[in-house]
């Protein structure tokens, strides 16, 4: 219990694993180099850890961790919307179209996470049931719909793998 409400820490453990995987998929589509992708993943991990720290805190500390998590989120949005998008276009039209769908889905849904956090974990204005439902809808949509779009984009996956030489 934190600040009189149940704290569901397992969602943060889930996000520490799944959100970097989503970013790896997006980086792979764009043929982004490993260093750039891992920098984005590092920001993502810091964002999730700030949320975890905020969820474990009360009052002003909770709010400050929320702000810090949002600060880590901004360069992720920038890179996905601009840097990665430009590189996806260089891979090919099919890849650019699929990337745009996945990037749009990711950014739009990820924007709702700090909103839910603010109302649930900072303000404590929503019930636990509403909180679980909101995060559940976001998680299923962000991950399952993402996976469905990616895996049903055979032309994109073929375009990305053209010229790929496996390391011996």
So where are the chain's domains?
A: 10-157
Handedness of CA 50, 51, 57, 58 (dihedral sign): positive
The confidence score (pLDDT) of residue 117 equals 95
pTM exceeding the 0.85 threshold for the entire prediction:
yes
The confidence score (pLDDT) of residue 163 equals 57
CA dist 159 and 111 (Å) reads 30
Nearest to 51 by CA among 126, 122, 134, 125: 122
pLDDT band at 146 (very low <50, low <70, confident <90, very high): very high
pLDDT score of 7 more than 90? no
- State which CATH number among 1.20.1070.10, 3.40.920.10, 1.10.540.10, 1.10.10.10 fits the domain covering 10-157: 1.20.1070.10
pLDDT in tens, 58-78: 899 999 999 999 999 999 999
pLDDT score of 141 more than 90? yes
CA dist 141 and 135 (Å) reads 10
CA dist 146 and 130 (Å) reads 23
pLDDT in tens, 89-101: 988 889 899 999 9
């Amino acid at each position: 219990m934190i600040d009189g409400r149940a704290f569901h820490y397992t969602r943060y453990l889930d996000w520490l694993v799944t959100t970097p995987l989503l970013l790896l998929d997006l980086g792979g589509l764009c043929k982004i180099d490993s260093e750039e992708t891992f920098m984005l993943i590092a920001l993502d991990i810091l964002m999730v850890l700030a949320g975890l720290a905020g969820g474990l805190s009360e009052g002003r500390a909770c709010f400050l961790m929320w702000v810090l998590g949002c600060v880590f989120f901004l360069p992720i949005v920038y890179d996905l919307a601009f840097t990665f998008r430009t590189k996806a276009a260089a891979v090919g039209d099919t890849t650019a179209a699929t990337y745009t769908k996945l990037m749009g889905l990711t950014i739009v849904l990820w924007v709702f996470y700090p909103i839910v956090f603010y109302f649930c974990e900072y303000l404590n204005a929503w019930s636990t049931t509403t909180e679980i439902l909101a995060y559940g809808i976001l998680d299923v949509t962000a991950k399952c719909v993402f996976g469905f779009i990616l895996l049903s984009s055979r032309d994109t996956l073929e375009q990305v793998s053209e010229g790929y030489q496996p390391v011996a």
